[in-house]
Amino acid sequence: MLTQTVTTLARERPYNNLLRRLSPPDYALIASYLVEDQAMPNELLYRPGDDVQIVHFPCGPALTSYLVPNEDGRDVETILVGREGAVGGIVSEGFLPAYTRIVVKFGGPFVRLPLSRLAAAKLQSKTLRNVFARYADCMLAQMFQSTACNAIHSIEQRTAKWIVAAMDRTDGEPTVPLTHEQLATLLGVGRSYVSRVVQTFRAEGVLETRRGAFMVRDFDALKQRSCLCNEAVKTHFEEVLRGVYPTEQAAAG
């Protein structure tokens, strides 16, 4: 009976793991302020210096990317955020200039919430505050891992890692719409070398390619070629986001 109710409520919620994780009373604190929206690829959510006042929750297959602008105009990606999280004022709690550019990589549904409302809800509910603090910690872990990854892992590993990370956030949709050039820029490396890596993946039957997209043929093989960074971060997410609520066992999945 209880699980029945939970399932029903969950179905009404946007397909964002953070929002779905909230207990019904916590969700009720913000539900009426959530605004649903749709975003297109390459849409700009925040630019450096912007006063951050809204938090965006990517839903379903929507995917966003934190980009650090660079002296020579190349924007390097630091982390990828999909429906497992949210972007905008997660750590700062907002009302501060953004440091990075955040853009939509894969279009899809989004939910927006004014940070002032979120702040108010956090003051009312310790558990809601807790969920967001825990997600912030997970996001940080993701960044720690990215920093280390960029220092020591090969371009082949990082290429594989990126595609796996994207698929992990889009229900395993095997088609990843991205040009070699775009992927190379995200990784901060040369395009021709990425093309060559992709070529070897294709030769090994791991990927197929189309103009502007990869189609993953052998997901496990791709994982094997990637570094372990995705897994390390995923483990932290699971550890940290479990156990916010006392009755957590019931709300799993």
Residues within the interface to DNA (CB under 7 A):
154-156, 179-181, 189-193, 195-196, 198-199, 202, 209-213
Instruction: Mark 4-43 with x for binding to a second copy (rule: CB under 8 A) and - for no binding.
Output: ----------------------------------------
**Tokens 């156990």 — which residue?**
243
Decide: 207 and 222 in contact? Cβ < 8 Å: yes
Please report how close the Cβ of residue 178 comes to DNA at its closest, in angstroms: 8
Name which of 171 and 239 has its Cβ closer to a second copy.
239
Name which of 189 and 228 has its Cβ closer to DNA.
189
Helix then strand then coil, in percent of the chain rounded to 5, is 45, 20, 30
Please report how close the Cβ of residue 27 comes to a second copy at its closest, in angstroms: 21
Tell me if residue 253 falls in helix, strand or coil.
coil
Range in contact with a second copy (rule: CB under 8 A) among 6-14, 25-33, 105-113, 234-242: 234-242
Please report how close the Cβ of residue 192 comes to DNA at its closest, in angstroms: 4
- 63-68 and 101-106 beta bridge pairing: antiparallel
200-204 CB contacts, 8 Å cutoff, 24+ apart: 200/156, 201/159, 201/160, 201/225
Beta-carbon contacts of residue 230 (< 8 Å; ≥ 6 apart): 161, 164, 165, 168, 223
Q: Tell me if 144 contacts a second copy by CB under 8 A.
A: yes
End-to-end CA distance of the chain: 17
Name which of 11 and 211 has its Cβ closer to DNA.
211
Buried b (16+ CB within 10 A) or exposed e, 118-134: beebbeebeebbebbeb
Of the candidate residues 74, 116, 124, 199, the single one contacting a second copy (CB under 8 A): 74
Name which of 64 and 146 has its Cβ closer to a second copy.
146
Written as six digits, the tokens of 64 are 């966003």
Q: Interface residues with a second copy (CB under 8 A)?
A: 66, 68, 70-71, 74, 76, 78-79, 91-93, 96-97, 99-100, 133-134, 136-137, 140-141, 143-148, 150-152, 187-189, 227-228, 236, 239-240
